[in-house]
């Protein structure tokens, strides 16, 4: 059986990073990092829901941006890896792009509009990668859940700064407009996910379930 390859390309919220120790269900990892188990990560839940007709491919990386390069972690930007990633998983039926949260960190100095421009650049690179099935480029742009209220009192604030929440709140409107112009599907993850109240950035296990359930409803229509 030729399964439909769906690449989930994102950051720590696609990787399955757990920001609340009380919500952790995975095994200990080097350095104390916490990653949800396969029973809880949203791409794995999506695989279970959609069944064997699909192959859900996890391509989440903690700290990944759209195009902004972290001076301490070279290659963590999506633009550096999107094309080889897609080529390694061809033929690709659908690409799910959920990025933008890390772009809101203060040291990048990016406005919401510049973050959206980074997403547009990724979409264009993906569309021009010879990895697709006969139907051609098929991309779902997902606006990530915004940073939650109260992050100013968490350790996250040291990285993100005072304007970051407002930037992430603006992404859904900007991404939706861009997706329509670029011929992509769009989904807003904010209303269906839950962000923990420890770091106010990462989604909970409940949030993973909500996102997987929502995507389960729309993906068959995008891949028919």
CA 21 to chain CA centroid, nearest Å: 21
Residue 4 phi, psi dihedral angles, 5° rounding = -85, 120
Cis peptide before 72 (omega within 30 of 0): no
Beta partners for 55?
5
pLDDT at 224: 87
Q: What is the pLDDT of residues 120-159, one digit of tens each?
A: 999 999 999 999 999 999 999 999 999 999 999 998 999 9
Q: How many CB atoms lie under 10 A from the CB of residue 222?
A: 16
pLDDT, one tens digit for every residue, the chain (224 residues):
789 999 999 999 999 999 999 999 988 778 778 999 999 999 999 999 999 999 999 999 999 999 999 888 888 999 999 999 999 999 999 999 999 999 999 999 999 999 999 999 999 999 999 999 999 999 999 999 999 999 999 989 999 999 999 999 999 999 999 999 999 999 999 999 999 999 999 999 999 999 999 999 999 999 98
State if pTM tops 0.85.
Answer: yes
């Amino acid at each position: 059986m030729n399964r439909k390859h769906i690449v989930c390309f994102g950051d720590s919220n696609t990787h399955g990073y757990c920001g609340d120790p009380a919500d952790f269900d995975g095994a200990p990892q080097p350095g104390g990092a916490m990653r949800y188990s396969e029973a809880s990560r949203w791409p794995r839940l999506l695989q279970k829901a959609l069944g064997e007709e699909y192959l859900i491919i996890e391509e989440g990386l903690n700290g990944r941006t759209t195009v902004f390069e972290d001076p301490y972690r070279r290659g963590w930007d999506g633009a550096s890896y999107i094309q080889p990633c897609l080529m390694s998983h061809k033929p690709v039926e659908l690409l799910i792009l959920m990025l933008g949260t890390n772009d809101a960190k203060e040291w990048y100095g990016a406005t919401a509009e510049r973050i959206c421009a980074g997403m547009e650049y990724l979409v264009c690179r993906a569309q021009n990668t010879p990895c697709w099935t006969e139907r051609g480029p098929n991309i779902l742009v997902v606006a990530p859940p915004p940073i939650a209220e109260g992050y100013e009192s968490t350790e996250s604030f040291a990285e993100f700064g005072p304007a970051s929440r407002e930037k992430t709140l603006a992404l859904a409107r900007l991404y939706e407009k861009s997706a329509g112009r670029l011929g992509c599907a769009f989904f807003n993850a904010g209303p269906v996910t839950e962000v923990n109240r420890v770091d106010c950035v990462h989604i909970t296990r409940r949030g993973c379930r909500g996102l997987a359930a929502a995507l389960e409803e729309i993906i068959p229509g995008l891949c028919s």
